[in-house]
Chains A and B, each alone.
Chain A
C-alpha cells in the first residue's frame, strides 16, 4: 500500500515536472517568436526610416534650391519694378521740365506780341524760342526712349513675377510632401513603441502619398 502511494506520488511529480517543462518550452518558443517579430518589425521600420530620411534630405535640398530660385526671381522682379518706377519718375521730371519750357515760350509770345518786328527784343525772343523748341524736342526724344525702357522693365517684372509664382507652386508642393513624409516618420516611430505591425503599413502608405506629392512638385502634373 505504501509502495503504491510512493509510485503514484513519483508519477505525479514527474507529470508535473513534464508539464512545467512543456510550459517553459512553450513560453520560450513564444518569447522567441515575439522577439523575432519585433526584430523583423524593427528592421523593416529601420529600412523605411532610412529611405524616408534620405528622401526628406534630398527633398529638402531640392526645396532649398527652388526656394532660393524663387527668392532670386522675386528679387529680380522687385528690382525691375523699382527701376521702372524710378525711370518713370525721371520721365515725369523731364515732362515737368518740358512744361516749364512750354510756359516760358507762351510767356515770350505774350511779351513780344505787341512789339514791332524791328524791336531788338523780338530778335532775342526768337532766339529763346528756338532754344526752347530745341530743348522740348530733346526732351521728347529722351522721354520716348525712356518710356520704352519703362515698358521693357515692366514686361520683365511681369515675367519674373510669373516665374517666381511658378516656382512658388513647386515649393508649396515640396513643403506639403515634406510634411506628409514627416507624419510617416512619426507613424513609424509609434510603430516601434507600440510594436504594432498595422501601424507600419499605415506609415508606409502615408510615406507613399508624401513621395507622390513631392514628385508632383517637380513635374507639376496637378
Chain B
C-alpha cells in the first residue's frame, strides 16, 4: 500500500516537473521576486553626486539583489539625529555614511550597532580582503568592526598651471621686493641659496610666498593686479580645520595647540600676518566668511590661482568626471594638483636656512558606513557595502565622484584604471598627502580651542588685525588671546531629501554636456607673448615688460 502511495506521489511529481519544464521554455527568465520594502541609505552628497550614486550604485545593486534601497541626502549634522528615528514609520534607515568622529559619538549614544554583530568577522575579513588594512582598522572601535570604510577626504593644493609657469619664469623680476618684504620680519630675506622649486610636490611656504607676491603684483588681461591666494575663513568647520591644519603644517600637534604661544603657532601667525600685510590674500577672505563654495567660485572665476581644496571638490571644480558633471572653471585643463606645501619658519638660522621645517600636512576626514542600532536589514546593508567596495563598482565610483580608492588592487593599478591625466594627478596628490595626514582630532570639535584660534586669527590676520607687528608683539598677542567670538546661531539643517521620486524614478536635472571649456590661458595674448606687467601701488604704477 505504502509503495503504491509513494509511486503515485512520484508519478504526480514527475508530471508536475515535466509540465513545469515544458512551460519554462516559454518563460525562460524567472519572474523577479518582490523588491521588498523601501530602505534608506543616508549620506551627505550634492544633488548631482546623489543622482549618480542612486543610478549607478544603488539601482544596480537593487536589480541584482531584489532590494529597494534608496538614497536619502541629509546634511551631515542631521545624520546623527536621523539615526535616533531609524525605525519610525516610512523611515527605515538601513545604513548611514558619516564622518568617523560623528559615528563614534553616535555609538556612545547607543545609536549604532557593529557590523560584526550582523555578519561574522571572518566573513567581513574575507569579503573585504582587498580593502586597505589601515582603512578597515580605522573603522574599528573597541577592537570590533563597528563601522566599514566609505572614503577618506583630504586637502590637496590646486593651482593654475599657466599662472605658475608664468611666475616660475618671471618671479626674479620681483625678487628684490620679495627679499625686502621678508627682510623686515626675519632680518635676511629669502633663505640662503633659495631657488623657486619647480616641482609643485616639493613646494614650501617660501615658494607660496614667492608665487603669491608675484601674482599680487602681476596684471593679467589688462586687469589690475590683485591677490591670488586664498583659504577658507569664518565659522565654517572646514575653515577651522584649515586654520588648525596650517598650524600642524608648521609642526603643530595636539600638545602644541594647548599653548597659544608655542613655536608652530608663532610661526603660523607670523606667516599669516605677513601674507595679509603684503596683500597676498584675496579680499574675499576678509569681507565675509569664505566657505568651500566661495573658494570654488573664486578659483572658477580665475580670481584665485592657488588654494587648498579636498580631492572631491577638485573633481567638482574640474568637472568632466561623469556625464553631467560640468566644469566650474573656464579652462579645466589648466588646473594642476599637488600635495600640500611643506612648512618652514620665517626665522632663519645663522647660515640662512629656515630654523624649522616640516612636511606638508592635511587632516583626513574618514567617512564610514554605520548600521543604525534599530535599523532593519543589517545583512542587506552589509551586502550593499561589499557591493559598493567590489572592484568594478568601486573603480567607477572613485572615477565619477573623486573618492580616493580604498582597495589595494585599485590603488596599485590606478595609473591604468584612471586614465585621464588630471584624475591621476588628483589621486597622486591625494595619496602623497595621505602619507602626511592624520584623522581630525576629536579635541578640535569638542574643545574651545576653535573659538580661541578663530579669535586670534581675526585679531592678527583678519579684519580686526592691528597691522604688522614685530615678533615680540606677535608673541604677546598670542599669549593673551581675545575672548572667543560666540558663533552665530546655526540655521536648522534643511530637511533630508530622497533622491528618488515617489515612484522610485530619478528626478531629471539639466545636464551640461554642451559646456564649452575654453583654454583661457592659451587665448590670453599677454600670457602668450610673455608681456609681463607689474604693479606696485606704493611706488605708483611700475610696469615692466619682460621677454
Query: What residues of chain A have their CB less than 8 Å away from a CB belonging to chain B?
Result: 44, 47-48, 51-52, 54-55, 58-59, 61-62, 65-66, 69, 88, 105, 109, 112-114, 122, 126, 129-130, 132-133, 136-137, 140-141, 144-145, 147-148, 151-152, 154-155, 158-159, 162, 166, 204, 207-208, 211, 214-215, 218-220
Contacts and interface: CB of A to CB of B under 8 A. Distances in A.
Interface in B492-547: 513, 515-519, 522-523, 525, 528-530, 547
Contacts of A113: 529-530, 547
A133 B522 contact: yes
A136 B22 CA distance: 62
Chain B: interface secondary structure? helix
Contacts of B419: 88
A66 B21 CA distance: 13
Interface in B400-445: 400, 419-420
Given A55-B17, A114-B547, A208-B13, A65 B25 contact: yes
A124 B523 CA distance: 15
B320 A144 contact: yes
Contact of B60 (A109, A122, A159, A214): A159
28 contacts: A44-B7, A48-B10, A51-B15, A52-B14, A54-B18, A55-B14, A58-B22, A59-B21, A105-B522, A105-B528, A113-B529, A113-B547, A129-B522, A130-B523, A133-B523, A140-B333, A141-B516, A144-B515, A147-B420, A151-B399, A152-B323, A155-B56, A208-B10, A211-B17, A215-B20, A218-B24, A219-B30, A220-B30
A137 B529 contact: no
B392 A158 contact: yes
Contacts of A109: 528-530
Q: Which of A44, A58, A130, A219 has the most CB of B within 10 A?
A: A58
B519 A137 contact: yes
A206 B400 CA distance: 52
B519 A133 contact: yes
A175 B189 CA distance: 81
B109 interface: no
Contacts, number: 101
A52 B10 CA distance: 12
A140 B10 contact: no
B174 interface: no
Contacts of A130: 523
B37 interface: no
A83 B400 CA distance: 20
A48 B467 CA distance: 101
A62 B24 contact: yes
A11 to B, nearest CB: 47
A55 B18 contact: yes
Contacts of B60: 159
B28 interface: yes
A117 B10 CA distance: 100
A199 to B, nearest CB: 15
B11 interface: yes
Given A140-B517, A219-B30, A48 B25 contact: no
A159 B22 CA distance: 30
B322 interface: yes
A147 B321 CA distance: 9
A91 B517 CA distance: 17
Interface in B90-133: none
A89 B530 CA distance: 35
Contact of B18 (A58, A132, A158): A58
B517 A136 contact: no
A207 B17 CA distance: 11
Nearest to B323: A148
A198 to B, nearest CB: 12
Nearest to A69: B28
Interface in B7-42: 7, 10-11, 13-15, 17-18, 20-22, 24-25, 28, 30
A141 B516 CA distance: 6
A54 to B, nearest CB: 5
B514 to A, nearest CB: 8
A145 B513 contact: yes
B3 to A, nearest CB: 9
Contact of A65 (B15, B28, B420, B525): B28
Nearest to A102: B522
B396 interface: yes
B64 interface: yes
Nearest to A200: B7
B322 A62 contact: no
A62 B21 contact: yes
B249 to A, nearest CB: 34
Interface in B293-351: 320, 322-323, 333
B411 to A, nearest CB: 19
Contacts of A61: 25
Contacts of A218: 24, 30
Nearest to B322: A151
B469 to A, nearest CB: 44
A144 B17 contact: no
A141 B517 contact: yes
Contacts of B513: 144-145, 148
Contact of B13 (A122, A133, A211): A211
B373 to A, nearest CB: 32
Given A48-B10, A58-B25, A144-B320, 8 more contacts: A51-B17, A55-B18, A66-B28, A69-B28, A141-B517, A145-B513, A162-B64, A204-B10
A62 B28 contact: yes
A52 B518 CA distance: 71
Nearest to A170: B30
Q: Which of A62, A112, A208, A215 has the most CB of B within 10 A?
A: A62
